[in-house]
Structure formats: C-alpha cells, structure tokens
Amino acid sequence: MIITNIEIIPGRRVVQHLGMVQGNTVRSKHVGRDLMASFKNIFGGELVGYTELLTESREEAVDRMKQQAEAIGANAILNVRFSTSSVAAGAAELFAYGTAVILE
Amino acid sequence: MYDLMFLFILLLLGYFFGQMAEKRHFRSIIKREEEYREILTFAKRFPISNEGDQKAELVGGNVVISVDYFKRFAASLRNLVGGRVTTYESLLERARREAILRMKADARRKGLNTIVNVKLETASISKGSQSQVGAVEVYAYGTGLLSSHNL
C-alpha cells in the first residue's frame, strides 16, 4: 500500500480510480497527562504526552483509511489530506482522507 | 495579598524558565536545521521531474508546544490595546520549525531525500472552558521521494 499526498506516483501509472476513502478517530485527553500539561503551562515548553497522543491518533486514522482501501481492492492512496477538529472540550477528532487507486 | 504574591511568583517562574526553554529550543532548532539541510522540501504539488524518483511515501512530524505563564499574561495585557502579540509569534515559529524538522527526520529514517507538497496544519488545544490558547499543535506532512537527479 503506497500512500502519498501528491496526485501521481513517480514511475507508476494509475489503472483504475476507486473513489474516496477515509478514516477517523476521536481521542480525549488523559487526566494524568492533563495534570502534567497544566504544570507545563506555567513553565512553557513541549507537551510530550500530547505530541505522542496525537501521533498515535493520526496513525490510527491512517490505518482505518488503509483498511477501507484494501477492502475495495486498491493498492495505493493518492492525494491524502489530514484535518483536525475539536468536537468537545478536551477531545479532538483526527481525520484522514484520500483517493484510492489501482496502480499497474 | 497572598493571591498577589502567588501571581507574582508564577510570573517570575514563567519568565525565567520560559526564556531559558525558548533559547535552548531555538539553539537546538538552528543546529538541527543545519544537519537536515540536504533534505530538500518543496511546497509545489508535483515532483521536479518524473525521472529518477524510485520511491514515494507519506512523511510527517508533529509537535505540541505550550506557552508559559508570563507570556500568556503579557498577551492578555496586549489584548487590551491590540497590536502585534510578539509572545505568541515566537511560539508559533518554534512549533512550525520543529514540526518541519521532525518531518525531515522521518524522511531520513525512511531513506528519502526530497519532500514535495509540504502542508502545515495548525490546531490550538484549548484548555477546558477558557478560550485562551494554552498550547498549539503543528503537523507538517508531505510526500517523501528518493531522487537520484541533482537539483
């Protein structure tokens, strides 16, 4: 499974387009991590816990998108975009979408 | 009286530790930018040329940075008169440069030497009911390529 955010894959030709695939995940903050974050809010600096949390969540969203693409028989996803939105206080939705295609 | 002292102590702590952390972070950013110089990044949508690109893969890096207490206080004062909020400008600059560096590190780990179609996404992580910016998340992503041609 090749994933890119450009419209082509260098040296490969698209045989068939299969439409859009997507994956999302909603994550909320951890109380322990939130406590650490409020300390960091005094001193400033990187919130490592949140960085990791968001990285994991994005991977999860991409995995779900991949599963969807595999289910319809694609072997690549082009033009992938990410979007983040906060649904409620303390929870964020991470969303990934792209075009599933079959490469020769 | 005690409230005022508490606020003063928080401001002092925020000022000293925040300045130290920011200076340290900028030094490390400048050092690593030198290190990852040979990985070229482009905001254009297509590869430079289709010849010689052997690999294509999504690469990305993210960072969440919090602003310190003193800076938040200074920004809330700035809110009264309006104008440039310099304390938040440096926060966002640090976050963007750090995210781009982590994306480059990801590309190097995957054995790629060029990144095209770089997109930057910024989200503010607000704390509870307060609408103030407590922390900011920046995610940088793009398509990493392995190019054999000389650009």
Task: Inspect the interface and report whether the beta carbons of A54 and B127 lie closer than 8 Å.
Answer: no
Residue B62: count of CB within 10 angstroms of its CB: 24
Q: Is A28 on the interface with B (CB under 8 A)?
A: no
Residues 111-150 of B with CB under 8 A from A: 116-117, 119, 121, 123, 125-129, 134-135, 137, 139, 141-143, 145
Residue range B89-101: mean pLDDT, rounded:
93
> Shortest Cα distance from B56 to chain A (angstroms)?
7
DSSP conformational letter for B36: T
Per DSSP bridges, beta strands B114-126 and B133-147 are antiparallel
Question: Cβ contacts (< 8 Å) between A37 and chain B: which residues?
Answer: 66, 127, 134-135
Q: Is B58 on the interface with A (CB under 8 A)?
A: yes
The domains located in chain A, with CATH, are 2-103 (3.30.110.70)
Which residue's entry shows tokens 């859009």?
A20
Residue B89 has pLDDT above 60, yes or no: yes
Of A51-65, A85-99, B61-75, B117-131, where does mean pLDDT reach its minimum?
A: B117-131
Which residue's entry shows tokens 């440039």?
B84
Two tokens at B67?
A: 């602003």
Residue bearing the bigger pLDDT, B88 or B32: B32
- Longest CA–CA span in chain B (Å) reads 71
Residue range A6-33: mean pLDDT, rounded:
85
* Per-residue confidence band for A43, with pLDDT thresholds at 50, 70 and 90: confident
- A vs B, Cβ pairs < 8 A, gives 128
Question: Which residues, in sequence order, are CB contacts of A47 under 8 Å at separation 6+?
Answer: A36, A37, A40, B64, B65, B66, B135
> Shortest Cα distance from B81 to chain A (angstroms)?
24
Residue B131 has pLDDT above 50, yes or no: no
Residue range B111-133: mean pLDDT, rounded:
76
Question: Which residues, in sequence order, are CB contacts of A42 under 8 Å at separation 6+?
Answer: B10, B13, B14, B17, B68, B69
pTM exceeding 0.90: no
Which residue from B62, B145, B100 is spatially nearest to A5, judged by alpha carbons?
B145
Instruction: Classify the C-alpha dihedral B132-B135-A95-A91 as positive or negative.
Output: negative
Question: Which ipTM was obtained for this model?
Answer: 0.86
Question: Cβ contacts (< 8 Å) between A7 and chain B: which residues?
Answer: 45-46
Q: Is A35 on the interface with B (CB under 8 A)?
A: no
The amino acid at A84: T
Q: What is the C-alpha to C-alpha distance for residues B35 and B4, in angstroms, rounded to an integer?
A: 46
Task: Inspect the interface and report whether the beta carbons of A41 and B134 lie closer than 8 Å.
Answer: yes
Three-class SS of A14-33: EEEEEEEEEEEEEEECCHHH
Question: Which residues, in sequence order, are CB contacts of A30 under 8 Å at separation 6+?
Answer: A49, A53
Q: Is B41 on the interface with A (CB under 8 A)?
A: no
Q: What is the C-alpha to C-alpha distance for residues B80 and B69, in angstroms, rounded to an integer?
A: 18
- Indicate the class that CATH gives domain B2-147: alpha beta
Two tokens at A28?
A: 């909320």
Q: Is A31 on the interface with B (CB under 8 A)?
A: no
**Site from B71, B125, B141, B146 to mutate, A interface, most A CB atoms within 10 angstroms:** B125
Which residue from B34, B67, B40 is spatially nearest to B53, judged by alpha carbons?
B40
Which residue's entry shows tokens 């009286």?
B1
